[in-house]
Structure 1
């Protein structure tokens, strides 16, 4: 998609982000959330993420439609983990299979590197998330662990896979 713009999220993007995420809450096991999110909750998350200097990006079509988003959240509140984030990436259903995820994840990783982050961890359901596993592996993530039967959604016990990507910190300006 040559007409795709990847940029930092704005307040106007929040309703579309909430709608994208809620699609997956209702229809899949790629998120273990069982209760739909609200735009207010997403606005609060945005403020928290921005307050920590962590990237939160959207992929926008030429017509202005938000086709997906990628964000990071602190891996832990312990200070030693301050350079490690967990990433999430979600696409509008109509954007799947069009290269949007590849470009969005690449932009997120570059923004995370530029922000001085060193490790990105993906936590991916081991059922129903094959596209996410493939996307992250193509982006250089390596397998880092597997927990079985840790979540219960739609009456099924599902595990999670951990993938990890090391980032090279940016070279300091002289």
Structure 2
């Protein structure tokens, strides 16, 4: 992993990041989106990140290619939730378990250390042992399970709400 670079996202990453996301949309219940997105549909998502503040994103790049990201976004719309963020992390298929997610989370949480963030929520479709393991390694604990909360691929899925308090 010596050629792994963790950096801020760039406009030129949008196609690769969209393709990664669409893999999970089309083949897994990890996201509850049901239809693939176009890069144009994901443009607003990319533009929603800033170098400071609560909503940040970091991209993993290897050999000049964006291979994943970790980000934070708004947890809920009401203003009282502003100091809580929701985390997301996605890697190109076949790259989990190699320490890339760990590097992304390390960078993301270091950037959030000086921001007004009190807690982070990871919403994990269950079962997903690799994601649970990664989140727990960073101090997330299961705050609750919402049973049969999303319907995808003809079945109902549970979600685990994992929380890290800073």
Structure 2 counterpart SS, 1:77: coil
Tell me the distance in 2 between the aligned counterparts of 1:43 and 1:52.
19
The CA RMSD over aligned residues, in Å, is 1.5
Unaligned runs of 5+ in 2: none
Mark the CA change 1:114 to 1:37 in structure 2 (over 3 Å): closer, same or farther: farther
Moved more, 71-80 or 155-164: 71-80
| Structure 1 runs, 4 residues or longer, greater than 4 Å off | none
Moved more, 67-76 or 43-52: 43-52
Q: Which residue of 2 aligns with 1:144?
A: 143
Alignment deviations for residues 69-97 of structure 1 (CA, whole Å, 9 cap, x no partner):
01111112221111111000000013222
Q: Do the aligned residues in 2 keep the contact of 1:68 with 1:95 (CA within 8 Å)?
A: no
Partner of 1:59: 60
Tell me the number of residue pairs that the alignment of Structure 1 and Structure 2 aligns: 165
The answer for unaligned runs of 5 or more in structure 1 is 168-174
Per the TM alignment, residue 2 of structure 1 is displaced from its structure 2 partner at its CA by: 2.4
Aligned to 2:27: 27
Higher mean Cα deviation, 90-99 or 21-30?
90-99
Structure 1 counterpart of 2:40: 40
Distance 1:94 1:146 in 2: 27
Secondary structure of the residue that 1:94 maps to in structure 2? coil
